[in-house]
Amino acid sequence: MRKKQLFICAIIIFLAIFTVIIILLTRHAGDKDLVYLSLVKEVYDKKEKEITINIHNDTKEQYIYGERYDFQVYKDNKWEDVAYVDNNLNLYFADVGLVLGPNSVKHDILRLDLYSISPGQYQYIKKVNNKELIVKFIIK
């Protein structure tokens, strides 16, 4: 009888520990955004011609994104689209699906020479699987 009780207690303890581990692993995955944008640095000189944006996928899933992005400046307490250097310039983005494979990093190039840049806070916005990813930086 005693052996049976010990066996049942051991099973209950094992199941409790297993459940806690599963809960902790699930919470950990939700705590950190595993698909994100990053930069080499946070402050850039206005004379720089381009900025490399890194698109990270630290998951085991495949994601789809496109060429399109938004580039904004923080002005008068709100985010506004950055104006082009040439008012006649309109950037067109091919409507293609690019693959961001599992555990990979891709790179976008933001050409600053196409925009009217002044010192300030900027943000680059990219949709990946219909989720907006944002990275912010300063131009001096």
Q: Does domain 35-139 have CATH number 2.60.40.10?
A: yes
pLDDT score, position 99:
95
* pLDDT(74) > 60: yes
Report phi then psi at 38, rounded to 5.
Answer: -145, 165
* pLDDT(27) > 80: no
pLDDT score, position 87:
65
User: Which sequence spans correspond to the domains of the chain?
Assistant: 1-32, 35-139
Torsion angle in degrees (nearest 10) through CA of 49, 73, 55, 109: -20
**Per-residue pLDDT tens over the stretch 58-67:** 999 999 999 9
Distances (CA, A) of 133 to 50, 55, 100: 19, 9, 14
- Average pLDDT across the chain, whole number: 84
pLDDT score, position 33:
80
- Amino acid letter, residue 10: A
DSSP β-ladder status, 131-139 and 43-44: parallel
pLDDT score, position 28:
42
